[in-house]
């Protein structure tokens, strides 16, 4: 197995070239590309530090955009936080870096723009420009943007964009200018693709079946538009992992502080690619088919291009509601419902107390099981003593019962328990995903590697909101960047099974969570939560696309690691 590069390495490892487009995100969550000239300058500055992207150092460089375009003099890009900062107002915007094939629309300097209400022309995000260009090249005069998550059509013949619900039209145009910069895609030794640094890869290895940053199947960026070769190269690096219910202060005397290593060896590596899809392929002859609508109690603000009056799509796809936290015990009592079990009762439900502790350490507090729990001075319980030891009934791993109690009380307290050693789940695990919508559609075009069937399109949409008691900072606002997010599955037996399990995971609030983005460094924002999704249809630039013969097997294992298995479907 190839070893992950250490911090002492100074060599830069290169792989194929691509076209780089830098974009910034406005307050509505819409991405806007910088001009080709500005992107060339940003990329030049960025590449100067490319070796540091593998953990060789920190990106401490700020890029003053005024040196590329005097009109942008107030703006700088802060690479460590992946933000654009306006110095005179203090406004901060997320930035991202997209990679495209050399002969894509950005590589040829082709930009599509729409006419805003104030009479100025605004460029579409680079992915949409490339999508429009591909569709027009195929002879499609009317292009539906639904596969990219937008409720609009673009008519090439009339040069207009139309809101499919309100029929509001505005002018669009196709411009040709300088090409966007060609850059080198780099990867660490032993890896033949792009070093993926999205939140799915950097922080999604805690409980999944494949740990480490390079858990995807990857391949070299193909020459456009030659189809990608079918072979894959999978490289997996190990990741250190452990569990600590909360930060425990040092204890005096013979009792030591926890000796837990919770550091991912890649955790400090700054991102090189945003969590958004690096490349969305063209979808010709879509024939989108919405699944039959289901009951929904969720709501979400729909992100769209600024294109006149906003409204919901005309046809209603299947929507899966988020299962929100259960009411408090007082509310349940008033409603006649049964309250949640007490934490001590949950521990007793899934453990058997041992009269003689085994001669081993408790991996939660790292104290001997024969001595007092390391959390005895921080966890009060009348039912569980400080020296009580028990093992979990399924996996038989032993812990201080007070340590298990501390771990449980630091989570959702939903009546479930997960073994910190082997990740076996007891009860029904739920997460902290905010309220939103999951919509499902089908269309006829096939995914690479699944040419015998159509495609399932999943669209997740979560709006900004306020954190609840289960989130890191209750009462504080959280952001939801990059929504709606589009994901793809083959419309075959295995793909449909994965879809049904993803619906279960969505209802249990397991697909997203609120935390810190590994791609931008932003805190209190919605991030992926250890269940990988394919956000590209093809070209598999970062392992988030197709073909990938191992994906369905891997995601089933990841779902099972969250307690979502076929047994859940039988219980519905």
How confident is the model over 418-465, as pLDDT tens digits?
898 888 899 889 999 999 999 999 988 899 999 999 999 999 999 999
290: confidence class by pLDDT, cuts 50, 70, 90: very low
What is the per-residue pLDDT for 544?
82
Q: What does DSSP say about strands 152-155 and 160-163: parallel, antiparallel, or unpaired?
A: antiparallel
pLDDT band at 199 (very low <50, low <70, confident <90, very high): low
Q: Are 490 and 455 in contact (CB under 8 A)?
A: yes
Look at residue 492 in the predicted model and tell me its pLDDT.
96
Residue 280 has pLDDT above 60, yes or no: no
Binning pLDDT at 50, 70 and 90, where does residue 49 land? low
For the ranges 32-36, 187-191, 211-215, 300-304, the one whose mean pLDDT is highest: 32-36
Out of 266-275, 504-513, 523-532, 557-566, least confident range: 266-275
**Mean pLDDT, all residues of the chain:** 73
Helix (H, G, I), strand (E, B) or coil at 502: helix
Q: Which residue has the higher pLDDT, 357 or 226?
A: 357
Provide the pLDDT for residue 542.
64
Ranges 266-280, 334-348, 408-422, most confident: 408-422
Lowest mean pLDDT among 20-24, 236-240, 393-397, 420-424: 236-240
Any idea what DSSP says for residue 368?
Answer: B
Asked if pLDDT for residue 275 goes beyond 50, the answer is: no
Calpha distance 35→68 (Å, rounded): 10
Helix (H) or strand (E) holding 568: helix 566-571
Average pLDDT over residues 353-363: 92
Q: For a pLDDT cut of 70, what percent of the chain falls above it?
A: 67
Q: What is the pLDDT of residue 185?
A: 67
Q: Is the pTM of this model over 0.85?
A: no
- Cβ neighbours of 170 (radius 10 Å): 17
Collapsed DSSP state (helix, strand, coil) of residue 405? helix
Q: How far is CA 351 from CA 229, 299, 381, 421, 527, in A?
A: 51, 39, 16, 14, 33
- The per-residue pLDDT for range 292-341, each reduced to its tens digit, is 434 333 433 333 343 333 333 333 345 555 444 444 333 333 333 446 78
At 160 the pLDDT is 95
pLDDT in tens, 514-557: 998 877 778 999 999 989 999 888 666 667 889 888 999 999 99
- Whether residue 391 is preceded by a cis peptide bond, meaning omega within 30 degrees of 0, is no
**Maximum separation of any 2 CA atoms in the chain, in Å:** 81
Answer whether 438's CB lies under 8 Å from 503's CB: yes
Q: What is the pLDDT of residue 339?
A: 65
Give the Cα separation of 527 and 435 in Å (integer): 13
pLDDT in tens, 80-138: 778 898 887 778 888 998 888 988 999 999 999 999 888 889 999 999 999 999 999 99
| pLDDT score of 568 | 85
Map residue 320 onto helix, strand or coil.
strand
pLDDT of residue 451: 92
Average pLDDT on 486-492 reads 94
DSSP code of residue 385: -
Higher pLDDT, 8 or 489: 489
Residue 369 has pLDDT above 60, yes or no: yes
Tell me the C-alpha distance between 185 and 200, whole Å. Answer: 20
Paired residues of 319 in beta bridges: 439
Distance separating alpha carbons of residues 332 and 330, to the nearest angstrom: 5
Contact 474, 468 (CB under 8 A): yes
Highest mean pLDDT among 314-328, 396-410, 497-511: 497-511
Distance from C-alpha of 110 to C-alpha of 131, rounded to nearest angstrom: 11
């Amino acid at each position: 197995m190839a070893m992950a590069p250490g911090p002492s390495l100074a060599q830069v490892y290169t792989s194929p070239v691509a076209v780089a487009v830098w974009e910034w995100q406005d307050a509505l969550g819409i991405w806007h590309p910088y001009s080709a000239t500005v992107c060339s300058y940003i990329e030049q500055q960025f590449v100067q530090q490319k070796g540091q992207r593998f953990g060789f150092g920190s990106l401490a460089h700020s890029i003053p955009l005024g040196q590329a375009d005097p009109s942008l003099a107030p703006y700088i890009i802060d690479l460590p936080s992946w933000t654009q900062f306006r110095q005179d107002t203090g406004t901060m915007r997320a930035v991202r870096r997209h990679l495209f094939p050399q002969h894509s629309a950005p590589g040829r300097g082709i930009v599509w723009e729409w006419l805003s209400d104030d009479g100025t022309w605004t460029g579409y995000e680079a992915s949409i420009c490339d999508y429009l260009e591909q569709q027009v090249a195929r002879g499609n005069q009317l292009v539906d943007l639904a596969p990219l998550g937008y409720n609009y059509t673009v008519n090439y013949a009339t040069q207009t964009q139309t809101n499919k619900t309100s029929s509001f039209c505005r002018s669009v145009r196709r411009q040709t200018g300088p090409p966007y910069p060609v850059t080198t895609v780099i990867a660490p030794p032993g890896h033949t693709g792009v070093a993926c640094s999205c939140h799915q890869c950097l922080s999604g290895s805690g409980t999944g079946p494949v740990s480490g940053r390079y858990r995807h199947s990857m391949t070299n960026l193909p020459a456009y538009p030659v189809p990608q070769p079918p072979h894959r190269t999978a490289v997996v690096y190990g990741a250190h992992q452990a569990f600590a219910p909360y930060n425990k202060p040092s204890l005096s005397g013979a009792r030591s502080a926890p000796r837990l290593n919770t550091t991912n060896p890649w955790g400090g590596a700054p991102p090189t690619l945003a969590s958004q899809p690096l490349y969305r392929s063209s979808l010709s002859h879509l024939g989108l088919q919405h699944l039959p609508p289901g009951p929904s109690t969720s709501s979400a603000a729909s992100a769209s291009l600024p294109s006149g009056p906003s409204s919901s799509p005309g046809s209603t796809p299947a929507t899966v509601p988020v299962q929100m936290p259960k009411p408090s015990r007082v509310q349940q009592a008033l409603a006649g419902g049964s309250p949640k079990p007490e934490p001590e009762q949950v521990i007793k439900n899934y453990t058997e107390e041992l009269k003689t502790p085994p001669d081993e350490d408790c991996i939660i507090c790292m104290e001997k099981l024969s001595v007092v729990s390391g959390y005895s001075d921080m966890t009060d319980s009348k039912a569980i003593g400080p020296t009580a030891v028990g093992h979990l009934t399924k996996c038989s791993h032993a812990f201080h019962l007070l340590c298990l109690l501390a771990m449980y009380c630091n989570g959702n307290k939903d009546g479930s328990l997960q073994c910190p050693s082997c990740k076996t789940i007891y009860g029904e695990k739920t997460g902290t995903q905010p309220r939103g919508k999951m919509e499902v559609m089908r269309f006829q075009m096939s995914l690479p590697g699944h040419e015998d069937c159509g495609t399932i399109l999943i669209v997740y949409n979560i709006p900004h909101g306020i954190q609840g008691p289960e989130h890191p900072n209750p009462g504080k606002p959280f952001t939801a960047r990059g929504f709606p997010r589009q994901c793809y599955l083959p419309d075959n037996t295995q793909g449909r099974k994965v879809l049904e399990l993803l619906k279960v995971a969505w209802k249990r609030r397991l697909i997203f969570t609120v935390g810190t983005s590994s791609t931008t460094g932003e805190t209190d924002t919605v991030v992926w939560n250890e269940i990988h999704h394919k956000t590209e249809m093809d070209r598999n630039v970062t392992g988030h696309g197709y073909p990938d013969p191992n994906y369905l097997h891997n995601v089933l294992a990841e779902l099972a690691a969250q307690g979502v298995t076929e047994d859940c479907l039988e219980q519905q």
